[in-house]
Amino acid sequence: MRRLAVPGALVAAIVLIALAAPLLDLPDPVRQDVARRLSGPGPGSPLGRDEFGRDVLSRLIWGARASLTVAFASAGIACALGTLLGLLGGWFRGLGELLALRSMDIVLCFPPILLALLVVTLLGPGTATLILVLSILFLPGFVRVTYAEVLSARSHDYVEAVRALGAGPLRILLVTVLPNVAGPILVQLSLAVAAAVVLESGLSFLGLGVVPPEPSWGLMIRGARATMAQAPLLLLWPCAALTVTILAMNLLCDALRDWVDPRTAAAVRLRAIDRVLPGLLPPPRSDAVLKVEGLTVEIDTPAGVIRPVEDVSLAVGPGETVAIVGESGSGKSLTAAAVMGLLPPAARVAAGAAWFDGVDLLRLHETALRQLRGNAIAMVFQDPMSSLNPVHRTGDQVAEAILAHRPITAAAARREAVALFRRVGIADPERRSRAFPHEMSGGMRQRVMIAIAIANKPRLLIADEPTTALDVTVQAQILDLLADLRRETGMAVVFITHNLGLVAEIADRVVVMYAGQVVEQGDTASVFARPLHPYTRALLAAVPEGEAKPEAIPGTVPPPHALPPGCRFAPRCPHAAPACAAGVAPLAPQEGRHVRCVRLDVMRGETASA
């Protein structure tokens, strides 16, 4: 809202001055005084007099009324009508779409000047004619922008979700779709207002707009052009008024767009902080390759803003493997996506930092982040089939990853790709590098993904459930491969999984997440030997081991929009007490690790006596 204040005040001031013209003690803007023609600024006429001796300040303020009326009225009419046609065409498709788009194509066929001449010939020049001409000219822009945005919005899950709730088309269009497409429409509006002010001056200049002697900024420019050599200042005043008005309108529409679309506002805020932060908040002193502090992610949903990741902190040292574990919906993947700058469009980082090599990844500009991704930081996803491009040979995809970050020849990159295939244990690498993804098994595709990830010797590898889609034998081979690579290259690994059995095999430290929060984190051996949080215990008890029957955890992870009060695990916890619902415990240091549990004393006692 604060961003709206300055441009809003500026536009309001310009409009108010124009509206207040009759109340101000200004000389008559059309009264001529030939004896004082082209006289410079002086007493009684602070901006001088024009070629007919008329007061320039008075004409500038009275002229604003004509120019702004034309600009706001034409842009407003085109915006309202165009948005309506675009919404209806994009939503109902069929005949509505045909009529909306084809009629706009016809308008676009007319050159603007020809259209203006046609309407002026039919209706005669004047302010109303000018508004009509400009509204018609701006209409196609609004229809097309809205139509395209609606087509994209209607395929989103949040629109489907409102449909599933039984909402009618009008309500969906006005309450769900319109706010989501308002950003581009507002940008189009600012462009239309700016263009209208310029076109008004241009068309009035050609005699097709406001009729003299009525003042307008366009007519003032037209008059000043003829006497430019004798009185250059006469050209300056209307041009300055035009520039300030257009700038103020652009700023206002940008601020309005950010106001209606919190995603862009968050991005702007983060970029602004990015420029200021390096001096204000130095990176924390740490040996960690990655240090995440207080990460909170918010997502806009039809049910309101949710926080699927809240206040998550973790650190990964060089050569260390840290596992993030938790059931589905704990926020593991969103945590990784936030660090990589790959959050889905509706999600944003609301707080926190992720330090990597002294820079905060969460505030890094997209270009700088792109330099790091696939280079110093790499990622391996769960499903290699959807991560690999189906129409490119796998060897070429590995070579592409190398070429994206290193200035070597394509032939050298292909040779390196074959070597990488060999390194990740793909038999007959020369031949296999020419295979397409669908010609490989799941395990082999995952090896290709790992080859891509390590192609540029990353310092940090984030692996998001990399073995979930694989059978147990291949899973073990992939884990061995990752462990070997870590030993060889010294890269740090963040391993995301919901399988605690794997964590014991590969992780030095473990971070247990539940419903968006870290509930316990510490050295894997000690967490496994003496779990302090009831959720960690429940997860461990659910791991099948020997003859013992695994114990399923009752219930499910609460969705982010329906979190229970206090401790989020309390409704499923066998140790829950009334105090658990009263408030969320902080993540407290405990026995060399961190645990978030109100009943820690009881848990410690139980674990000791077990």
Ligand X SMILES: Nc1ncnc2c1ncn2[C@@H]1O[C@H](COP(=O)(O)OP(=O)(O)OP(=O)(O)O)[C@@H](O)[C@H]1O
Q: How far apart are CA 608 and CA 604, in angstroms?
A: 6
Show the CA angle centred on residue 331, arms to residues 327 and 335, nearest 5°. Answer: 135
Told to check if 331 binds ligand X by CB under 6 A, we report yes
Q: Quote the least distance from Cβ 8 to ligand X, whole Å.
A: 32
* Cβ closest to ligand X, residue 381 vs residue 421: 381
Per-residue x/- marks for ligand X, 536-575, CB under 6 A?
-----------------------xx---------------
Contact region with ligand X (CB under 6 A), list: 12-20, 219-227, 330-338, 448-456:
330-338
Q: How far apart are CA 384 and CA 498, in angstroms?
A: 18
CB of 515 to ligand X, least distance (A): 8
Give the C-alpha separation, 407 to 107, whole Å: 50
Contact 417, 402 (CB under 8 A): yes
CB of 560 vs ligand X, minimal distance in Å:
5
Binding-site size, ligand X (CB under 6 A): 17
Beta bridge partners of 464: 496
- Tokens for 523, please give them: 């050295």
Q: Using CB under 6 A, pick the residue from 40, 169, 344, 501 that binds ligand X.
A: 344
Triad 51, 52, 54: Cα angle to 5°: 105
Interface residue with ligand X among 227, 301, 456, 489 (CB under 6 A) is: 301
Is 243 one of the binding residues for ligand X (CB under 6 A)? Answer: no
- Tell which positions 153-172 bind ligand X, by CB under 6 A: none
Judged by beta carbon, residue 304 or residue 592, the one nearer ligand X is 304
Q: Does 326 bind ligand X (CB under 6 A)?
A: yes
Asked if 521 is part of the footprint of ligand X (rule: CB under 6 A), the reply reads: no
329 binds ligand X (CB under 6 A): yes
Task: With beta carbons less than 8 A apart as the criterion, state whether 232 and 83 touch.
Answer: no
Handedness of CA 513, 515, 518, 521 (dihedral sign): negative
Ordered DSSP codes for 352-397 = EEEEETTEEGGGS-HHHHHHHBTTTEEEE-S-HHHHS-TTS-HHHH
Give CA angle at 460 (459, 463), nearest 5°: 145
Q: Judged by CB under 6 A, does residue 288 bind ligand X?
A: no
How far is the C-alpha of 512 from the C-alpha of 104, rounded, in Å?
Answer: 57
Looking at the Cβ atoms of 97 and 310, the one nearer to ligand X is 310
Residues 452-511 that bind ligand X (CB under 6 A): 498
If one asks whether residue 299 binds ligand X (CB under 6 A), the answer comes out as: yes
Exposure string of 287-320, with b = 16+ CB inside 10 Å and e = fewer, is: ebbbbbbebbbbbbbeeeebbbbbbbbbbbbeeb
Judged by CB under 6 A, the residue of 144, 222, 307, 332 near ligand X is 332
Instruction: Specify the stretch interacting with ligand X by CB under 6 A; choose among 96-104, 311-319, 343-351, 480-488.
Output: 343-351
Cβ closer to ligand X: 184 or 302? 302
Least separation in angstroms between CB 382 and ligand X? 8
Cα distances (angstroms) measured from residue 536 to each of 543, 569, 582: 11, 11, 21
Distance, in Å, from the CA atom of 483 to the CA atom of 493, rounded to the nearest integer, reads 9
Minimum distance of ligand X from residue 555's CB (angstroms)? 15
- Rounded alpha-carbon distances, angstroms, from residue 139 to 41, 77, 109, 176, 404: 42, 8, 13, 23, 43
Q: Rounded distance, CA 604 to CA 610, Å?
A: 10
The interface region with ligand X, picked from 130-138, 258-266, 331-339, 399-407 by CB under 6 A, is 331-339
How many CB atoms are located within 10 Å of the residue 205 CB?
Answer: 18
- Of 56-64, 67-75, 324-332, 384-392, which part binds ligand X (CB under 6 A)? 324-332
From the list 139, 234, 334, 567, which residue makes contact with ligand X (rule: CB under 6 A)? Answer: 334
Is position 350 an interface residue for ligand X (rule: CB under 6 A)? no
Structure tokens at 118: 């046609």
**Of positions 74, 180, 190, 333, contacts ligand X by CB under 6 A:** 333
Choose the binding region for ligand X from 100-108, 200-208, 340-348, 449-457 (rule: CB under 6 A).
340-348
Nearer of residues 218 and 331 to ligand X, judged by Cβ? 331
Q: Which residues bind ligand X (CB under 6 A)?
A: 299, 301, 308, 326, 328-334, 344, 346-347, 498, 559-560
